[in-house]
Amino acid sequence: MLTGKRVVLAVTGGVAAYKSAYLARRLLEAGAEVEVAMSDAARNFIGAQTFAAITGKTPVIDLFGQDLVSPHTELARWADVVVVAPATASTLGKVAHGISDDLISALLLATTKPVLFAPAMHTEMWEHPATRENIEKLRSFGYHFVGPEEGGLAGGDVGIGRVAEPESIVEELKRLMGAPEEPLEILVTAGGTREPLDPVRYLGNRSTGKMGHAIADEAARRGHSVVLVTTSGLQTHPAVEVVRVETAMEMKEAVDGVSPDVAVMTAAVADFRPADPSEEKLPREDGLDSVELVPNPDILASVVAREDRPYVVGFAAETGSVDRAIEKALKKGVDLMVYNDVTKPGSGFGTDTNEVTLIDASGEVEAWPQMPKTEVAARLLDRIVADVASRR
Ligand code: CTP
């Protein structure tokens, strides 16, 4: 809850600044005390007087020349939480690089309290490699994010980059200010399995493990204890316990050894493996007319069938509509299925983004816009943690 919580609302310069007036009102309605800090650029989009009328307090608009001796540190200490809405690419960049040359960036560097960014910018700016890198860095520093959403942007453009709605920001703040997440044991499977034909060659698939690793890293950052069973060599958060495997059988054995609260099965497990892999490299001159395959165990099914069954999240990478994934979710009995269409640009193997649809145990769907895999990971964990908490 936000009752009695002291919220500094930092407004930076984007057209979405006008929405922060609604946000200020929603925060007050939720019982928070609100102080507004505005950048110079923000005042091109909305007047300080608007916030003064809503909050009953004059916004802080400068590092110098107002009543406060040291506005950035005073606000930084007064706050229980700081929300930056809208957060421009420039503000994110400054904080990621430790630059503190104006009121908002100085405030953000000075505070030790939780900070929630609600980014807003044009799609090209959001997707720029510099912004992507800054977001990664800020996440690793422990900053929180809400949005952006897909929709109408400044100048009539449409795409990802629209600031999260005031209601979503308030909800996210409530979550942040609520009881800390109860630490869970989380198992993640990731990557594509490799099923050997001989010591050199294998049957495999195009999964890189990025999505699963993003989930494992985010869970570890939040203090959950994470076992990641993966075929991928990607770097992981130091707190993640990594079990590297190659084949479906090895993955099954590793999974069998863990009794988690939550199992997030992102791995692309080969459904079949060569029945009798050769111990020697197969010479070309011997020819190979056919390969006999035998089915691999369904690892997810074995987890769902456990007596001490965890909360199970399946992934369905499909080349068609969501209908097949809904069918799969119901048939497999998962608590949540995450569907994506791998033929869509920005939603396939090896990309840094994903566009997913969640399907719950009753077949209800929730489509998310395209966003970085790190963002999918964070939102997915929010959902998992909330579901698990509501069942306890
Ligand atoms: N899965 C698993 N073990 C397998 C196959 C799949 O754990 N042998 C898990 C995947 O990690 C994923 C989910 O089951 O979370 C769905 O995978 P998918 O390959 O889409 O399911 P299949 O039942 O193999 O369906 P398909 O016929 O489309 O391959």
Determine if ligand 1 sits within 6 Å of the CB of residue 265.
yes
Summary mean pLDDT of the chain: 94
From the alpha carbon of 189, which atom of ligand 1 is closest? 11
pLDDT of residue 157: 79
pLDDT greater than 80 at residue 179: no
Q: What percent of the chain has pLDDT over 70?
A: 99
Domain assignments of the chain as residue spans, ordered by start: 6-177, 185-391
The CATH T-level fold of domain 6-177 is Rossmann fold (3.40.50)
CA of 91 to the centre of ligand 1 (A): 42
Question: Highest mean pLDDT range out of 67-71, 170-174, 244-248?
Answer: 244-248
pLDDT greater than 80 at residue 67: no
Determine if ligand 1 sits within 6 Å of the CB of residue 271.
yes
Superfamily of domain 185-391: CoaB-like (3.40.50.10300)
pLDDT greater than 90 at residue 307: yes
pLDDT greater than 90 at residue 150: no
Tell me whether domains 6-177 and 185-391 share a fold: yes
Residue of 134, 205, 340, 354 with catalytic role? 205
pLDDT greater than 90 at residue 283: yes
pLDDT of residue 155: 76
Q: How many CB atoms lie within 10 A of CB 292?
A: 8
Active site residue 340: no
pLDDT greater than 80 at residue 92: yes
Give the residue carrying structure tokens 């107002």.
66
Average the pLDDT over each of 89-103, 237-251, 371-385 and give the range with the smallest value.
371-385
Determine if ligand 1 sits within 6 Å of the CB of residue 327.
no
What type of residue sits at position 112?
Answer: T
d(CA 324, CA 218): 29
Confidence band for 68, pLDDT divided at 50, 70 and 90 = confident
pLDDT greater than 90 at residue 390: no
Determine if ligand 1 sits within 6 Å of the CB of residue 313.
no
3-state SS, the chain, equals CCCCCEEEEEECCCHHHHHHHHHHHHHHHCCCEEEEEECCHHHHCCCHHHHHHHHCCCCECCCCCCCCCCHHHHHHHHCCEEEEEEECHHHHHHHHCCCCCCHHHHHHHHCCCCEEEEECCCHHHHHCHHHHHHHHHHHHHCCEECCCEEEECHHHCEEEEECCCHHHHHHHHHHHHCCCCCCCEEEEEECECCEECCCCCEECCCCCCHHHHHHHHHHHHCCCEEEEEECCCCCCCCCCEEEECCCHHHHHHHHHCCCCCEEEECCECCCEEECCCCCCCCCHHHCCCCCCEEECCCHHHHHHCCCCCCEEEEEEEECCCHHHHHHHHHHHCCCEEEEEECCCCCCCCCCCEECCEEEECCCCEEECCCEEHHHHHHHHHHHHHHHHHHHC
pLDDT greater than 80 at residue 146: yes
What type of residue sits at position 284?
Answer: R
For atom 9 of ligand 1, the residue with the nearest CA is 300
Average the pLDDT over each of 30-44, 57-71, 272-286, 314-328 and give the range with the smallest value.
57-71
pTM (two decimals): 0.71
Average pLDDT for residues 344-355, to the nearest whole number? Answer: 87
Residues contacting 177, CB < 8 A, separation 6+: 1, 2, 5, 80, 81, 114
pLDDT greater than 80 at residue 281: yes
pLDDT of residue 181: 77
CA atoms within 13 Å, Cβ hemisphere of 297: 16
As a dihedral over the C-alpha atoms of residue 361, residue 362, residue 365, residue 368, rounded to 10 degrees, the angle is -30
Average the pLDDT over each of 43-57, 178-192, 242-256 and give the range with the smallest value.
178-192
pLDDT of residue 327: 97
